[in-house]
Amino acid sequence: MKQAGPLFLFLYMLLLSQSNAILITMSDGTILQGDIIDYNEEFLSFQTVDESIFLEISWSELNPKQVEILKKEFSLEPKAPEARQVKGYIVYLKRGGIVEGVLQEKKSQVFVIKNRSGKFPIPKRNILKLEKKGLSLTEVYTPSELYVQARRKFDLKSASGHMKLALFLLRTKAYEKAKNHLEEARRISPSLSSEVETILIQITEAQEKNEKRKWLQLFHTYQRTHRYKRASEALDKIKDDLSEEEYLNHQKELLSSQEKHLPNAIAQAWLNQIQRKVSQISFDRKINLEEAQENLFQTSESEVIENLVTEFSLSVAEVKAYFDKRSLSSPKRFSYGSGTFIVGLSGKKPKSSQGVESWEKIKELAAQKITDAESEEEVSPEGWWEKANSTERRQWLMARYLEARMQVESYQVKNCPHCSSRGTRKKGRKNILCPRCQGHRFDRTVVGK
């Protein structure tokens, strides 16, 4: 049996905290990433993160540690032990794990332990010690296994046999199956009718309570894992079962968690995706500067927004509004580098007063035009783009994007390395404009959030 170590737990917590999807580990070690859409005592309905694959996974197909974590999360573990106990064991493994179950098979090298998650062959050499422990039937068997066993125990030709089986099934919370046997008892012996009716009403109440608890758990799980639309849907399922005050409180809780999380989560994802697009554009030697900017500000940006609409289950307007509410902890900085001459030294006025100061200085520098030099090798913006390497292109496009779409905090300038910020060079007796900065003398960096 594979033991889930701290790494697995770490990954699980990491995913739970950072992404919309979760990771689940299968018993063979395969890891799937996606969403748990629904669950019951037998199956999980799982959708992979790209929504391409939909799986019904039985609990026994999962890694036992995973089962434990998820069942705790969903409160599927029975709270009070069932009355009937079976003789079982706690198996302590040498590497630190624990498995509980009945000893189903004792081979010369291997013990097979059975519990409700499945059968686990454990090599004897891996076992530190065995300890006896009484286990409830529901800890050892799955609901369907219990059902098969229980059917054999009762006389299903008689009404009382069906009644007894129904009551047994109720203890294991197999409500639907219990209902079938109650109906059967009533059919065989109509005199049981009122007794059956009373139990059926109790079952409906218990099911509703379970249902309410299940949706409330899901609401919290979805909220904690930032799947807000799902959380809101889960809450709406039980709207009628909650008092108005409870409902409004949950809704308020959801909204505040959403408002706290979404702006930066969206901004982070937005900027990461824009940077990836900008890298692709910068590597493409076939497109010119005009096309590159068109691609970035039209095609790529709308694709990114569409992705976020899907990822966060929000509308385009909501995604944009959350992006505008961002408050990034550290500013981004991108340099126009040797392409500064295309945009000039002074850009959009910064937001912060500190930034305005640096901007005023840079504006002054920009105003100091070079008059005593002639231009000899004038470079066009397209000519610069063609010669620039992909890093220079990427920086230039990101600086452009930052300035256009985000809040500029300040600007920084760096001496042109070609002319040491003189803006001119000597060529024979002539003074010529520096071909790199074209007389702008500095490279400009945009700093913003």
Contacts with Zn ion by CB under 5 A lie at 416, 418-419, 434, 436-437
Residue 135 or 419: the one with the smaller Cβ distance to Zn ion is 419
Residues 101, 92: Cα–Cα separation, whole Å = 12
Residue 379: CB minimum distance to Zn ion, A: 11
Residue 24 or 370: the one with the smaller Cβ distance to Zn ion is 370
Strand order in the sheet with 118-123: 118-123, 110-115, 98-106, 85-93, 127-136
Residues 339, 101: Cα–Cα separation, whole Å = 70
Residue 172 or 445: the one with the smaller Cβ distance to Zn ion is 445
Residue 252: CB minimum distance to Zn ion, A: 58
Residue 423: CB minimum distance to Zn ion, A: 6
Residue 308: CB minimum distance to Zn ion, A: 40
What does residue 301 show for φ and ψ, rounded to 5 degrees?
A: -65, -40
Residue 289: CB minimum distance to Zn ion, A: 20
Residue 115 or 424: the one with the smaller Cβ distance to Zn ion is 424
Contacts 24+ apart (CB under 8 A), 392-396: 392/337, 392/338, 392/339, 393/281, 393/282, 393/292, 394/275, 394/278, 394/279, 394/282, 395/334, 395/335, 395/336, 395/337, 396/334, 396/335, 396/336, 396/337, 396/339, 396/342
Kindly state the tokens that stand for 244.
């108005």
Residue 333: CB minimum distance to Zn ion, A: 21
* Cα distance from N-terminal residue to C-terminal residue, the chain: 49
Residue 159 or 437: the one with the smaller Cβ distance to Zn ion is 437
Give the strand pairing for 430-433 and 54-58.
unpaired
What does residue 283 show for φ and ψ, rounded to 5 degrees?
A: -80, -15
Residue 62 or 379: the one with the smaller Cβ distance to Zn ion is 379
